[in-house]
């Protein structure tokens, strides 16, 4: 029996490892969501599974409307295929990404900058990002904690903080350092089998609670000045 001829690629670069995850997505997603997923796979950083591009630009590249793109992104997020981060990044989740992910940001200073930006987003955080915060961020980088895991921990910790603030009538002491989230980060890192849909829910719930708390604080401020 003669051996099969060796397959030779016409192009040696620009390829994506489309394994069983890709086939599963093809069967489970709508045509629009799968097309967007395929584009993201081809363009994502192989080390992080992330694409840094705002939705309007993606719509232009794909020659689709923003409504089409947002609907496809929403489906991908609801199905746990991708997650939309707060820094105009889209990350393909581990379950649908065939490569081993590495901490985003090839250099520690890039990673530290990402962590600093993530801390600047929630309204209940007032972190000046002191040398102690930077040291902790660098320690997390050395441990291999990804920026995505830190983002999840921040929103989980903030959701709990907002719940406490609302229960206490809105009075608050702001979160002032990254160390506040240290235990939550360890908690998130340990939850390796938690579905992406759960983290999407946590992020959505934290935003909902943030809006409620901001409304409450504005009401208290108006009452105190009247």
Tell me what pLDDT residue 15 has: 66
Mean pLDDT for the chain? Answer: 84
pLDDT tens per residue, range 142-200: 888 888 889 899 999 999 999 998 888 756 788 999 999 999 999 998 887 777 778 88
Among 79-88, 98-107, 152-161, which range has the highest average pLDDT? 152-161
Which of 98-112, 121-135, 169-183 is predicted least confidently? 98-112
Question: pTM of this prediction?
Answer: 0.56
**Which domains occur in the chain, in start order?**
20-96 (1.10.10.10), 108-225 (no CATH)
Q: What is the distance of C-alpha 86 from the center of its chain?
A: 7
The percentage of residues in the chain with a pLDDT greater than 90, rounded to a whole number, is 33
pLDDT tens per residue, range 11-24: 555 567 777 778 88
């Amino acid at each position: 029996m003669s051996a099969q001829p060796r397959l030779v690629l016409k192009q040696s670069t620009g390829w994506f490892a489309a394994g069983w995850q890709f086939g599963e997505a093809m069967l489970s997603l709508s045509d629009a969501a799968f097309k967007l997923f395929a584009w993201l796979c081809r363009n994502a950083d192989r080390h992080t599974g992330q694409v840094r591009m705002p939705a309007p630009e993606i719509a232009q590249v794909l020659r689709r409307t923003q409504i089409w793109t947002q609907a496809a992104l929403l489906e991908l997020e609801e199905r746990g295929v991708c997650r939309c981060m707060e820094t105009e990044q889209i990350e393909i989740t581990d379950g649908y990404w065939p490569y081993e992910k590495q901490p985003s940001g090839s250099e520690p200073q890039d990673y530290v900058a990402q962590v600093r930006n993530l801390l600047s987003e929630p309204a209940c955080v007032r972190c000046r990002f002191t040398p102690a915060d930077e040291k902790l961020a660098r320690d997390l980088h050395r441990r291999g904690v990804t920026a995505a895991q830190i983002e999840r921990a921040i929103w989980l910790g903030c959701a709990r903080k907002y719940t406490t603030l609302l229960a206490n009538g809105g009075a608050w002491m702001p979160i002032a350092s990254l160390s506040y989230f240290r235990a939550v980060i360890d908690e998130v890192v340990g939850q390796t089998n938690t579905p992406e849909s759960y983290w999407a829910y946590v992020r959505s719930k934290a935003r909902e609670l943030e809006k409620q708390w901001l409304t409450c604080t504005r009401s208290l401020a108006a009452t105190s000045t009247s």
